[in-house]
Amino acid sequence: MTVSAYAALETDLASGRLAEVIADIAEEAARLILPYWRADTAVETKADASPVTEADRAAEALILSRLAEHWPQVEAVAEEAVAADGAPPSVGPWFWLIDPLDGTKGFIQGRESYTVNIALVRGDAVVAGVVTAPALALTWRSVAPGEGAQRRAFGEAWKPARVRERPQDATALVSHSISDEDAERLAGRNGCRLWQGMDSSLKFCLIAEGRFDAYPRTGPTSEWDTAAGQAVLEAAGGRVLAEDGRPLAYRKPSFLNGPFSAIGA
């Protein structure tokens, strides 16, 4: 990227234009995905044994194209491109992290909690993000730095999103892939008496809007799984902490995350 390209990106981030544009792109991808949902879409298996559908690939192509129209010199790390190439690309000081369809297993099974994720990383920190839930017709975004987080139903106005004060019966969200025993243990470790299983980055957003309190994760995730949700949750007053107690950082080897806890108040 040139100096002028960095300056333009910084200006768009600070003004809120970037947040508006990437939210529109995520919702456009959501509209593309919806006809594939509950439509017996063909499923393939990637090298890591995870599933992929034509909806994943089509949404990623659309997102990459739209981002390049607005910010042509910003590199992107996108899930399906990485799977096809066998390794993540090298990136500059700013780059996009994209998961075009997070929660593909649930999407294939007809569940509603799958999402579209677009995030911007500067250095090793996520600085902007948007998460859209196509089946729920909802979008969450970080706004300009320091201006909080917002949520909107498709076609409606943005409304503020904010984490809640932790209640006595705090509730954790956990991955569907873990056992009840592990879920109870993880919830308790994060001060939560109750827990609920859920797919995708939607977990970050439901904490961000004050409906739940924590999302502990021990199993492996990729950076594109967490970046957009982290941006939304942090903007809403929450935190996403690695095992060392520091904010979950990005640009790690192979773009893989270790254990972390996403928490509200």
pLDDT in tens, 46-99: 888 889 999 999 999 999 999 999 999 899 999 999 998 888 888 989 999 999
The angle subtended at Cα 35 by Cα 31 and Cα 40, nearest 5°, is 145
Closest CA to 129 of 262, 265, 32: 262
Q: How confident is the model at residue 253 (pLDDT cuts 50, 70, 90)?
A: confident
Closest CA to 96 of 80, 110, 111, 117: 117
Q: pLDDT per residue over 169-226, tens digit each?
A: 999 999 888 888 888 988 898 889 899 999 899 999 999 999 999 999 998 999 999 9
State the pLDDT at residue 265: 86
Is residue 6 scored above 90 in pLDDT? no
Taking residues 250-256, what's their average pLDDT?
93
Residues 6+ apart with CB under 8 A from 122: 93, 94
> Average per-residue pLDDT in the chain?
94
Q: How confident is the model at residue 1 (pLDDT cuts 50, 70, 90)?
A: low
Six-digit token string for 36: 């594939």
